[in-house]
């Protein structure tokens, strides 16, 4: 039992190293991303409005997309009637990604921040994004 002090020091060092990431980041807030709405289609719209209001889309877009999938695949329903009465084709590729073609700056920025990885791209084709301009960093 002469090594008690060495064991205690070893345990303290171990606890400090294991808990370091938690207490190092305590009180620091990660800035939420600001998704880019700068796409040619969106810029060309007279009224820059999504199928539902921004608050609804931020909170419920994944539920809405899941519902669309179920309604199209299981029920054969292909038209979504928005809360304002407008009709949209229920299609991630042809409705959502027509405007939001900048996947890395729109979808990925929030999903990485939130730590979620939706499985959209196992069935859908990811939109082709323009190559960055030469010299731009």
**Digit-coded pLDDT (tens) for 93-116:** 899 988 888 888 888 888 988 888
- Which residue range forms the structural domain that includes residue 55? 36-128
- The residue that leads in pLDDT, 101 or 136, is 101
What is the CB neighbour count within 10 angstroms for residue 125? 10
CA distance 36 to 99: 11
| Number of domains the chain is built from | 1
Can you give the pLDDT at residue 129? 67
Residue 8 within a domain: no
Residue 10 within a domain: no
- Work out the burial of residue 109: count CB atoms within 10 Å of its CB; fewer than 13 is exposed, 13-18 middle, 19 or more buried: middle
Residue 135 within a domain: no
Can you give the pLDDT at residue 66? 93
Structure pTM?
Answer: 0.68
pLDDT tens for each residue of 18-62: 999 888 877 777 788 888 888 888 888 888 889 999 899 989 999
For residues 106 and 37, the answer to whether their CB atoms sit within 8 Å is yes
CA distance 13 to 41: 56
- The DSSP string of 56-110 is HHHHHHHHHHHHHHHHHHHH---EEE-TTS-EEE--IIIIIHHH---TTTTHHHH
Residue 14 within a domain: no
For residues 88 and 79, the answer to whether their CB atoms sit within 8 Å is yes
């Amino acid at each position: 039992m002469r090594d008690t002090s060495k064991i205690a020091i070893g345990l303290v060092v171990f606890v400090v190293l294991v808990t370091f990431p938690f207490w190092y980041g305590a009180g620091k807030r990660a800035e939420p991303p600001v998704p880019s709405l700068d796409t040619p289609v969106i810029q060309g719209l007279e009224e820059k409005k999504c199928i539902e209001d921004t608050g609804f889309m931020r909170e419920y877009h994944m539920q809405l997309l899941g519902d669309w999938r179920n309604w199209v695949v299981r029920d054969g329903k292909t038209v979504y009637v928005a809360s304002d009465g407008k009709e949209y084709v229920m299609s991630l590729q042809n409705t959502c990604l027509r405007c939001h073609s900048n996947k890395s700056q729109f979808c990925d920025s929030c999903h990485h921040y939130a730590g979620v990885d939706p499985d959209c791209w196992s069935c859908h084709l990811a939109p082709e994004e323009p190559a960055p301009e030469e010299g731009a960093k």
